[in-house]
Amino acid sequence: MTHLVLLHAFPVNRHLWDDQVEYLTKAGRRVLTPDVAGFGDSQVPQEATMTALAESVLSPVGQPSVFAGLSMGGYILMEILRLHPEMVSGAVFMDTKASADTEEARAQRLQVADAVLAAGQTRDLADAMLPKLLGETTRSQNAPVVDRVRGWIEAARPEAVATAQRAMADRPDSVHTLRRYEGPALVVWGSEDTISPAADQRVMLDAMPQAVGREIPESGHLSAVEQPSAVNDVLLEVLSDWQ
Ligand code: MLT
């Protein structure tokens, strides 16, 4: 049976997927949730590149698998499609986008990298990012999820944050990579996501005519933790359809 590899967002860690691991494992699926290099229990990579982040998550995988990447995890999945397309038997792009950064966004990332290293902590980053990462519904109605996400961001090492920001700042546009990909694909986004809104999802769906699109209601950018049941159902459905 095909394995499912779940790639987490920035600047959290593999625990973003705890609800999916529990649900899909009970449903008999083999699920891998590697930490992206530097986050969770993993080592900060030598190089601040998307290639280094992609190689770090691929090392425990070992066979062609279905990959689901959320936001930064989606950028990493696009890098895997560039480097090792033979490893991807199905692709789920969640709350992510195919475009490269604008000059302004790139400059902002490099500034955040420097600021976090100088501060030596990620508490201020958590304050700045939580309102953007989480949707209005979660922020107003789901304090436990807000606290969990805050805890993950505060646990991130400044070196990991800086490395990932520098790698993402240099990532290429991936529209051509998605056009070349002919395998099964799903595009999922939160209805309240302002970081990668509907227009970004449309670009990915247009690049992959075979892709199915699914909006997750009452979710911001971190759909896996904001609306876990809806995401679990969507993932189990595609795993059943694609094998
Ligand atoms: C993420 O959730 O991984 C980030 O929003 C990605 C990004 O900074 O572009």
SS3 state at 84? coil
Mean pLDDT on 91-96: 98
Q: Which two tokens stand for residue 15?
A: 């625990």
Output the CA torsion 132→74→94→123 (10° steps).
-30
Q: Of ligand 1's atoms, which has the minimum distance to the CA of residue 101?
A: 9
C-alpha distances in Å from residue 177, one per residue of 61, 85, 105: 21, 10, 22
Ligand 1 centroid, distance to 127 Cα (angstroms): 15
Q: What is the DSSP letter of 195?
A: S
Ligand 1 centroid, distance to 140 Cα (angstroms): 22
The confidence score (pLDDT) of residue 119 equals 97
Q: Residue 64: in which H helix or E strand, if any?
A: none
- Give the binding-site residues of ligand 1, using a 6 Å CB cut-off: 9-10, 71-72, 168, 195, 221
Task: Point out which residues pair with 187 in neighbouring strands.
Answer: 93, 213
Ligand 1 centroid, distance to 72 Cα (angstroms): 5
Q: What is the DSSP letter of 86?
A: G
Residue 74: pLDDT band with limits 50, 70, 90: very high
pTM of this prediction? 0.97
Nearest Cα residue to 134 out of 234, 16, 22: 16
The confidence score (pLDDT) of residue 243 equals 75
- CA atoms of 44 and 158, how far apart (whole Å): 10
Mean residue pLDDT across the chain = 97
Mean pLDDT on 148-153: 98
